[in-house]
Amino acid sequence: MSRKIVTYPHPVLAGKAAPVMEITDEIRELAAEMAVLMYQDKGIGLAAPQVAESIRLITVDLSGPDKREDLRVFINPVISNLEGEVVSEEGCLSVPGYRSNVTRAERLHLSALDLDGNPVEMDADDLMSICLQHEIDHLDGVLFIDKISKLKRTLYERKLKKWLKQKKED
Ligand code: NI
């Protein structure tokens, strides 16, 4: 397996991902690799741009990170009917070592395709709603640190600079 999870400020994370036009063996392979990487890093969701593939595909497993019982792959996901408001602490495998509260819609409707090309229509709330919004944001080049206050963002950028400098010196 050659892919790995890329981290901020990698430019692919800021791009708008392209729709999947056809579900090929390559797409199925990509989804399988993403699931492995997501589990390895103890994530509950991963978006293709996080492995430097700028296409609209996400993997989600809310039974994780310890269990691996409910893997879902959503292709060309679109959310609608966003309702309510919920604040929760988020992290991201592409933003290591940082977590922050983010405000999101509490409920939504998801339309997508599964790996067999079948349409998926699903109402989601709570953690699934939060996770879908987080992952679909990735497809539009948006990270959860784009949704926090300016002050928090500045502090994070400072911390990151220090880490990157340290890494270079090590
Ligand atoms: Ni993320």
Model confidence pLDDT, tens digit, residues 112-170: 999 999 999 999 999 999 999 999 999 999 999 999 999 999 999 999 999 889 888 87
Residue 131: per-residue pLDDT = 98
User: Alpha-carbon distance 86 to 126, whole Å?
Assistant: 8
Q: Is it the case that residue 69 has pLDDT exceeding 80?
A: yes
Percent of the chain with pLDDT over 70: 99
Percent of the chain with pLDDT over 90: 90
Helical segments of the chain, H only: 25-40, 126-139, 150-169
**Residue burial 128-149, b: 16+ Cβ < 10 Å; e: rest:** bbbbbbbbbbbbebbbbbebbe
- Calculate how far, in angstroms, residue 91's C-alpha sits from the geometric centre of ligand 1: 7
User: Alpha-carbon distance 61 to 81, whole Å?
Assistant: 22
Mind telling me the catalytic residues?
135
- Calculate how far, in angstroms, residue 143's C-alpha sits from the geometric centre of ligand 1: 7
Mean pLDDT of 66-93: 95
- Calculate how far, in angstroms, residue 144's C-alpha sits from the geometric centre of ligand 1: 7
Cross-strand pairs, 120? 112
**Residue burial 105-126, b: 16+ Cβ < 10 Å; e: rest:** bbbbbbebbebeeeeeeeebee
Mean pLDDT computed over every residue of the chain: 95
pTM for the model stands at 0.95
Residue 169: per-residue pLDDT = 85
**What six digits make up the tokens of 85?**
């408001």
End-to-end alpha carbon distance in the chain:
27
Residue 2: per-residue pLDDT = 84
Query: Do residues 99 and 91 lie in contact, with contact meaning Cβ atoms separated by under 8 Å?
Result: yes
pLDDT tier at 5 (50, 70, 90 boundaries)?
very high
Q: Is it the case that residue 64 has pLDDT exceeding 80?
A: no
- Calculate how far, in angstroms, residue 46's C-alpha sits from the geometric centre of ligand 1: 6
Residue 110: per-residue pLDDT = 98
Residue ranges per structural domain of the chain: 11-169
Query: Do residues 133 and 105 lie in contact, with contact meaning Cβ atoms separated by under 8 Å?
Result: yes
- Calculate how far, in angstroms, residue 136's C-alpha sits from the geometric centre of ligand 1: 9
- Calculate how far, in angstroms, residue 70's C-alpha sits from the geometric centre of ligand 1: 18
- Chain centroid, CA 33 distance in Å: 15
Q: Is it the case that residue 1 has pLDDT exceeding 70?
A: no
Residue 154: per-residue pLDDT = 94
pLDDT tier at 18 (50, 70, 90 boundaries)?
very high
CA 150 vs CA 126, 128, 135, 146: distances in Å:
26, 27, 22, 9
CATH of 11-169, one of 3.40.225.10, 1.10.3720.10, 2.60.40.1930, 3.90.45.10: 3.90.45.10
Cis peptide leading into residue 65 (ω within 30°): yes
